[in-house]
Amino acid sequence: MRMKSPWADPSSIAHFIRFRKQMRYIPTMRLSVVIVNYNVKYFLEQALYSVRKAMQGIDGEIFVVDNNSVDGSCEMIHRKFPDVHLIANKENTGFSRANNQAIRLAKGEYILLLNPDTVVEEDCFKKVLGFMDATPDAGAVGVKMIDGKGHFLPESKRGLPTPTAAFYKMFGISALFPKSRKFGKYHLGYLDKNEIHQVDVLAGAFMMLRKETLDKVGILDEDYFMYGEDIDLSYRIAHGGYKNYYFPDTTIIHYKGESTKRTSINYVFIFYRAMIVFAEKHYSQKNARLFSLLLNIAIYFRAAFSLIMRIAHNSYRPLLDFSVMFGSMFLLKNFWEENVKYLNGADYPVEFVWMNMLVYCVMWVIGLYFSGAYEKPRSLLSVFNGILFGSLIIAVYYAFLPETYRFSRPLIILGALAAMVGTYLIRLTLHFLKFGKVNLGLTLDTNTIIVGNKDEVKRVENLLVQSKASCAYAGYVRIDKNEETLDNCLGHMEALPEIVTLFGVEEIIFCSKDLSAQQIISWMGKMRKPDIQFKIVPEESLFIIGSNSKKTKGDFYTLEINLSLNTALQLRKKRIFDVLASLALTVFSPLLILFVRNRKNYMVNILRVMLGEKTWVGYAAVENSTTLPHIRKGVVTPADLLDQRSMNTYTIQKLNFLYAKDYSIEQDLRIVLGSLRKLGN
């Protein structure tokens, strides 16, 4: 008798098909962490240290997909994290495609998409995994995120960017009524940030996903190069039979929240264009057209607003300086003509007021600009150098004027002195209004303490000294009660809030070797002063990481790194600068030749730069340099502005990288003016 096949029953066949599908997706480990990196080595290092701790006791793997970074990220991973699976792309493939590269190789039951500018608590992964195990309908989970100052990031939980929600956000209405159920839908401000909620959209900075969910709804949509991919994936998860959950029982630090990007015009265009792509993919044709219209209006509205705000922010100090200078010159002119020049009651010609005086004030403002007087940290020396440089330009201008337009040399000298005093007093007043204290040097020395144990505190103190940090170091707060203390110990960390108040602390540096990420995040939330700054020193790292200040040379805060010298436009600008600077240096060579060390080579350098054999500013020579955009050999380098005897290979590499990242003609001009004696190198 022939036995009946167990799969003859149609229901059994369906069961078998489901079984085969499940067998195909059986994971071999618990968790796969995927991090996409692009030129944020120092943040990535800290993130990997925190991930390594959070992975303890979890069967998992870590992927880093590097999108052709030139800051030494890959070398750092090979050296410090050899267990990390590194995928080193030869081009910037974008966020979605890079994540997908690792997702396709991942073996975990769960996959975590994590930004490189984050710090996770030690028990973060265990808590989120436990929640997902207990919540079968959870396709994706996000957590509470705070920025580098401990402030809650509203993008931790978001609603769908419907036309109305997007309209309220784009035109600032949601910011006015963040708790409103009608106007606050974009960031769901009416939902308690400390409670678990089902939400529409999670942030790609931390997004834990079920592998089976991705297998069903698909991986990241590669039509999104940057921004929008997390919204798209969240939408597909919700329409694929799963739910997105906001889980606040664990917190991460995300150094770059949306608030730090809104002033970028480039961000406005990229982000809202991604929203248009989303609308065209998922909304009806009618709604997509309406959404696109609103977004296009918002794009140009926000771009114009950002541009106006940037111009206003960058120009109000020069305009204030110009006003004070011109007012001072006008008063000096009246005094001089009444009491010295024209005792018979005559006046200076009107040309002096509307030609010479205006030009003089413009020249002084230009001098202040190129001396760095409008950059941080501001100092008395930059004001002095700026007025002096402007006065030299005025002297050259005066020499070429016809005799009929040369009015009064004493007024130029007196005007320069008045400009110097007036601009310095402006800065002193603005400094007092902003910080509530007088600082004659104008630099903001932040009252800083270190929280850690003795050995690590000594190492961090040395970092502060080597980086020449602009801070007033008050001492340290110990963690171990039984440890022998140093002379500058301020007390135990149990009394940290009282110490902060007593010593007027404005900045706290946490040693992550001695404190868990959970403790650091907890203390960030306990501080009473709302404007206090926080920094973290990763173990064995040479950098102090934070995101609320750019005063300290040892800090790395910028996340969006685009190497300016990678573009043909910037290279053309650099060549134009070389030619114009060579012409100017030729004209002023009779004067400059007195200051240059190697006079013969100075003239040779002018000729070689004019012919395109050299450039005035190039990279500093250093061994094992990372790959940077190619430029000609420089006469001087960014390192020539500093004492090179105290600089190591690491510091020189960093200077070269920052020069390529932030290249501008103004930067070249400042380096050349600051290295005049070395133009004969």
Per-range mean pLDDT, top range of 16-25, 173-182, 279-288, 566-575: 173-182
**pLDDT tens-digit map of 536-563:** 988 877 778 776 543 333 344 333 344 5
Q: Which segments within 81-137 are labelled E, that is strand?
A: 85-89, 108-114, 118-120
What is the identity of the amino acid at 532?
I
Residue 2: is its pLDDT beyond 60?
no
Residue 262, pLDDT score? 45
Which residues, 6 or more positions from 347, have their beta carbon under 8 angstroms from its beta carbon? Answer: 337
Residue 237 near residue 139, CB atoms below 8 Å: yes
Paired tokens of 554: 């040892």
| CA dihedral over 459, 463, 465, 469, signed as positive or negative | negative
Look up residue 567 and give its two tokens: 């573009």
CATH of domain 26-157+193-256: 3.90.550.10
- Chain length of the chain: 681
Per residue in 396-436, pLDDT (tens digit) is: 777 777 776 666 778 888 888 988 888 888 887 876 776 56
The proportion of the chain whose per-residue pLDDT surpasses 90, expressed as a percent, equals 23
Which positions ≥6 away from 44 have C-beta within 8 Å? 35, 37, 64, 73, 76, 77, 116
User: Which of 63, 108, 142 shows the shortest CA–CA distance to 215?
Assistant: 108
What are the angstrom distances between the C-alpha of 105 and each of 23, 25, 85, 102, 604?
A: 17, 12, 10, 5, 57
Pick from 206, 203, 111, 209: which is nearest to 157 by CA? 203
Question: Could you tell me if 460 and 544 are in contact, meaning their C-beta atoms sit under 8 angstroms apart?
Answer: yes
Residue 491 CA to residue 530 CA, distance in Å, equals 22
**pLDDT tens track for 202-241:** 988 999 999 999 999 888 887 766 677 888 888 889 888 8
Tokens of 627: 């790959």
Locate the domains of the chain by residue range: 26-157+193-256, 261-434, 446-556, 564-678
Asked whether residue 24 carries a pLDDT value surpassing 70, the answer given is: no
> What are the tokens at 217?
């709804």
Q: What is the pLDDT of residue 132?
A: 95
Q: Taking Cα atoms as reference points, which of 594, 459, 446 lies closest to residue 529? A: 446
At the topology level, CATH places domain 446-556 in Rossmann fold (3.40.50)
